[in-house]
Chains A and B, each alone.
Chain A
Amino acid sequence: MGTYLFYFLIYPGFLFAAVIGAFLSWFDRKITAGVQFRKGPPLLQPFYDFFKLLLVKETILPARGAKGLFLAAPIFAVFGATMAGVFILLPLMNITTGFQGDLIVIFYLLTIPSLSYVMGALASGNPLAAVGGSREMKLIMSYELTFLLVMAGVIIKSGQSINLYQIIQVQQAGTPFIGSLSGVLLFIVAIFCLQAKLAMVPFDMPEAETEICGGIFIEYSGTPYAMIKLSKYMSLFILPAFIVAILMKGFTLEGINILWAVLKLVAVVLLLTLIRNTNPRVKIKQAIRFFFIWMNLLAVIAIVLAIFGL
């Protein structure tokens, strides 16, 4: 029992994912600043933001809204991100072997943060938040099928295994899945799914600061907003870690391989940041079409190639 609590709260769960995620968030902002020829924020900026929101700012509840759900939604988001983080990182860090079918559980848990943002937005009673919530729902519907197809491709490539630990083991025994043609296609599709899951710029229409003033988070302030920031930091760590696990051979945490593991993670985040900085925000209609037609087509081609062993 104590071991499981340690896994959940400290390593590799809540605290570890939050701290690494905060540093990755700083990396994201620093690279953004570099792309725009600016200097960028200091290293501890995500921690200052989080503690300011948590400790200093006042929490305002909406007068016309479901206050309980409004306050509970950020906690659900942090919980979902933590649980998904635990199930992804335990096999990835080679601590335990996970259980049969944990890939499916991870898939469901990764949806919880986005769903709870939608719940919180609709509970706040703000019309702009409702617009943002409806956009986030459409976005979830468009990328979830694609993400499931990516996982189907990975399952076929690993020889019908639905255990994350076995998938990593198959890759470590042979070549990483990204080393084949279908693996490259799956990686491209997965990167765009991550972009939408993290609500980064080509697909940030639920937040859209310039048109709907922050969208789903418009009414949040103080401690609940700190929780939302926390779940965002954690998602920025666990989702790239998941891609590294299912397509890029996972981590080997001994000797010089630790550096290699860090480089793989940072490379995925760098790719996400560069996509975010070189693209404009698309309309929700365009995003749905992009995922339903093009990304699904690419994922299906990758699955067919995977069946033929390419």
Chain B
Amino acid sequence: MSFKSYCFKKSLWLFHFGGASCNNCDIEILDCLTPKYDVERFGMVLVGSVRHADVLLVNGSINKKDKPRLLEIYEQASKPVVVVAIGACGCTGGIFAEGNTFAGPVDKIIPVDAYIPGCPPKPEAILAGIVKLLGKI
């Protein structure tokens, strides 16, 4: 493994995009930053600006209002950026998949590198997904 990709793996900065979410996945993502799970062990921190982000966490169903915003956020991120779809709504659309305002699951809009299903996924599941993602980069 080269030095560059090693450094990238050891220092992933997270940016959280919440679509039309019921807030359950948002809370479970925040749980990963709490003392019990503490993702800063792996060098991950939550950043405020998408320009600094290496990982784009997307959760919630993406409706027609969210779609252009998600696209713009993705274009503003400095590459390489890894996209993780979290929760049933992010992965497939979940119970909103046949709704009027639904604009497609996340992977129809931007390329997705990892899916973490669940409604909501437990923090352990999110950590397991992150570990699998680290093996993939």
Chain A interface residues toward B at CB < 8 A: 29, 33, 36-42, 44-45, 47-49, 51-52, 55-60, 209-210, 212-214, 217-222, 225
B38 touches A39 (CB 8 A): yes
A221 touches B40 (CB 8 A): no
- Contact A60 B38, CB 8 Å, known A48-B7, A48-B11: no
A57 touches B40 (CB 8 A): no
Chain B residues, CB < 8 A from A210: 48
Which of A47, A55, A60 contacts B78, CB < 8 Å?
A60
Judge if B69 is at the interface, Cβ distance under 8 Å: no
**Minimum-distance CB pairs A-B, first 8:** A209-B48, A221-B78, A213-B48, A214-B49, A48-B10, A221-B51, A48-B11, A214-B48
Count how many chain B residues have C-beta atoms less than 8 Å from C-beta atoms of the other chain: 22
A-B contact count (CB 8 A): 85
B52 touches A40 (CB 8 A): no
- Contact A38 B48, CB 8 Å, known A48-B7, A51-B3, A56-B4: no
Which of B38, B43, B49 contacts A45, CB < 8 Å?
B43
Which of B7, B40, B41 contacts A55, CB < 8 Å?
B7
Judge if B80 is at the interface, Cβ distance under 8 Å: yes
Q: How far is the CB of B136 from chain A (nearest CB, A)?
A: 16
Judge if B35 is at the interface, Cβ distance under 8 Å: yes
Chain A residues, CB < 8 A from B51: 60, 214, 218-221, 225
Q: How far is the CB of B14 from chain A (nearest CB, A)?
A: 12
Chain B residues, CB < 8 A from A55: 3-4, 7
Q: How far is the CB of B1 from chain A (nearest CB, A)?
A: 13
Chain A residues, CB < 8 A from B47: 209, 214
B41 touches A39 (CB 8 A): yes
A225 touches B10 (CB 8 A): no
Chain B residues, CB < 8 A from A220: 51-52
Which of B4, B5, B10, B48 has the most chain A CB atoms closer than 10 A to its own CB? B48
Which of B7, B8, B35, B54 contacts A37, CB < 8 Å?
B35
Chain B residues, CB < 8 A from A56: 4-5, 7-8, 80
Considering the complex, give the chain A residue whose CB is closest to the CB of B40. Answer: A41
Chain A residues, CB < 8 A from B49: 213-214, 217-219
CA separation between A220 and B7, bound complex, in Å?
19
Q: How far is the CB of A26 from chain B (nearest CB, A)?
A: 11
Q: How far is the CB of B60 from chain A (nearest CB, A)?
A: 20
Restricting to B1-57, which residues have a CB under 8 Å from any CB of A?
A: 3-5, 7-8, 10-11, 35, 38, 40-41, 43, 47-49, 51-52, 54
